[in-house]
Chains A and B, each alone.
Chain A
Amino acid sequence: MIQIRQFPYRPHDYETEKASNSYLMSLIAAIAGLPLPIVNLLATLFFYLSNRKGTYFVRWHCTQALVSQVFLLGTNSVGFWWTVSVFMGDVDFTNQYMGYMVTLVLFNLAEFAATIYTAIQTRKGIHVEWWFYGNLTHLICPAK
């Protein structure tokens, strides 16, 4: 799911700090933004925009931190509004609902752990690529 790859060049210390911060940003926003997942995405998007003219290493990791949240933004939003509907009595409490919420918790925990790991490794200058999001990042963030 997570692979350590060789980056085209060895990043400087200031680059690894900025790249690592992009993951930390998403973590802090995840805590501050609960239960509205859009806050999380907006915070990372803001960080991405402010660093899009940075070096390739910084841009690449800011992009991976950003795109890695898109999938969970969708699933978490569905979970949030489904929960509101259950609380308001619009829909019933079902096993499908609980199955979805537990799946959501598992995926969020996995992303949470992966984000912490990646932030630490990136700070050390180690290039970490995630399953799917790594390839996606290569497609939308060319080396120039």
Chain B
Amino acid sequence: MIAKTIIQGLLTILLFLACWWGLSKFPWDQWLGQSDSKNALEEKLGEQLWRLYSYNGQELKDEFIVDTVDSLVNALCEANDLPRENFKIHIVDKSEVNAFALPDGHLIINSGLINQVTDHRQLAGVIGHEMGHITQKHVMHRLVREMGLAILVSASTGNSGGMIHDILRHLSSTSFDRDEEREADSQSAQYLDAAGINPIHLADFMYMLSTLNSDMPDALYWISTHPDSQERANNILEEYEDWDKVDQSIIQEETWEKLQSVMP
């Protein structure tokens, strides 16, 4: 009886594997149109969220502004072998000092952030941090964890404006978990290091914002979504205290000053 049971069990497993193997030979990806679309859900969500956010703040499309910020992003991508097309940069006219990542590589940078940073390498650090969230897939992990797959699928259809609004508010005004923030910090520091920028600039920016007083709510926006900034800044400082390379400038000082002067 035992031998017969084992044989039957093995045959059942074999039947399952044979079915799987046979059915895998069908060109499902072509039939379902998935060849060129790696992740339709993420694409749809990213598109819907960006569209909603762009209603609240005008996207700045001035060539000089876009090119200057792009030069920072390009430098980080080139130095770290990151495909540039994976990041969709949007500069938005909003006074809140904030930058955040949306699904499908959309990276929002508010004009308030560009006005607040004192050095373009600080901005590169913040961009690197958000690029870290994108490359490590934190955005989708977090959404699935905190909102559930069913809600995301429903929201991506575009028929539930309330849900997509809630997701956007969640992504732009709440933080990732501590491990994910640390991982994004670490990624950003590595990106800066590879691009020849001292990672301490990111730590400087975190310190600077954490010391601002609470009557500047706009300035405190990024800090409110990135808690424990002083502790995280200390971690970067400790890790890179022996950094002894030449601190590179990605853009010239005059270009940076001009960028800040033309920002709304």
Name the segment of B18-26, B163-171, B178-186, B238-246 touching the other chain: B18-26
Asked if A135 and B149 sit within 8 Å, CB to CB, the answer is no
Interface 0/1 of B16-51, CB less than 8 Å to A:
100111111111110010100011011000000000
Q: For B28, what are the chain A residues with a Cβ–Cβ distance below 8 Å?
A: 95, 98-99
What residues make up the interface of B, taking CB atoms closer than 8 Å to A? 1-2, 4-5, 8-9, 11-12, 16, 19-29, 32, 34, 38-39, 41-42, 137, 140-141, 144, 149, 152-153
Asked if A75 and B140 sit within 8 Å, CB to CB, the answer is no
Q: For A75, what are the chain B residues with a Cβ–Cβ distance below 8 Å?
A: 16
Q: For B22, what are the chain A residues with a Cβ–Cβ distance below 8 Å?
A: 99
Cα(A92)–Cα(B35), bound, Å: 10
What residues make up the interface of A, taking CB atoms closer than 8 Å to B? 71, 75, 84, 86-90, 92-96, 98-100, 102-103, 106-107, 131-132, 135-136, 138-139
Asked if A106 and B137 sit within 8 Å, CB to CB, the answer is no
B39 to chain A, nearest CB (A): 4
Asked if A131 and B29 sit within 8 Å, CB to CB, the answer is no
Pairs A–B under 8 Å by Cβ, sample size 17: A84-B144, A87-B41, A87-B153, A88-B140, A88-B144, A93-B32, A93-B38, A95-B24, A95-B25, A95-B28, A98-B26, A98-B29, A98-B32, A99-B20, A99-B25, A100-B24, A103-B23
Q: A71-B12, A94-B29, A135-B4 are in contact. Are A89 and B23 (CB under 8 A)?
A: no
Asked if B24 and A136 sit within 8 Å, CB to CB, the answer is no
Asked if A98 and B137 sit within 8 Å, CB to CB, the answer is no
Cα(A86)–Cα(B144), bound, Å: 12
Asked if B137 and A89 sit within 8 Å, CB to CB, the answer is yes
Q: A100-B20, A103-B20, A135-B1 are in contact. Are A92 and B9 (CB under 8 A)?
A: no
Asked if A87 and B39 sit within 8 Å, CB to CB, the answer is yes
Q: For B16, what are the chain A residues with a Cβ–Cβ distance below 8 Å?
A: 75, 103, 107
Asked if B144 and A87 sit within 8 Å, CB to CB, the answer is yes
* Given A95-B26, A99-B22, A135-B8, 17 extra CB contacts under 8 A: A75-B16, A84-B149, A87-B152, A87-B153, A88-B39, A88-B137, A89-B38, A89-B42, A93-B38, A99-B21, A99-B28, A102-B23, A135-B1, A135-B4, A136-B9, A139-B2, A139-B5
Q: Closest chain A residue to B137 by CB distance?
A: A89
Cα(A135)–Cα(B20), bound, Å: 25
Asked if B21 and A95 sit within 8 Å, CB to CB, the answer is no
B52 to chain A, nearest CB (A): 21
Contact partner of B39 (CB less than 8 A), chosen from A89, A99, A107, is A89
Q: For A86, what are the chain B residues with a Cβ–Cβ distance below 8 Å?
A: 39
Contact partner of A88 (CB less than 8 A), chosen from B19, B34, B141, is B141
Q: For B39, what are the chain A residues with a Cβ–Cβ distance below 8 Å?
A: 86-89, 93
Asked if A92 and B23 sit within 8 Å, CB to CB, the answer is no
Q: Closest chain A residue to B28 by CB distance?
A: A98
Q: For B23, what are the chain A residues with a Cβ–Cβ distance below 8 Å?
A: 98-100, 102-103
Contact partner of A95 (CB less than 8 A), chosen from B12, B27, B141, is B27
Contact partner of B137 (CB less than 8 A), chosen from A71, A90, A139, is A90
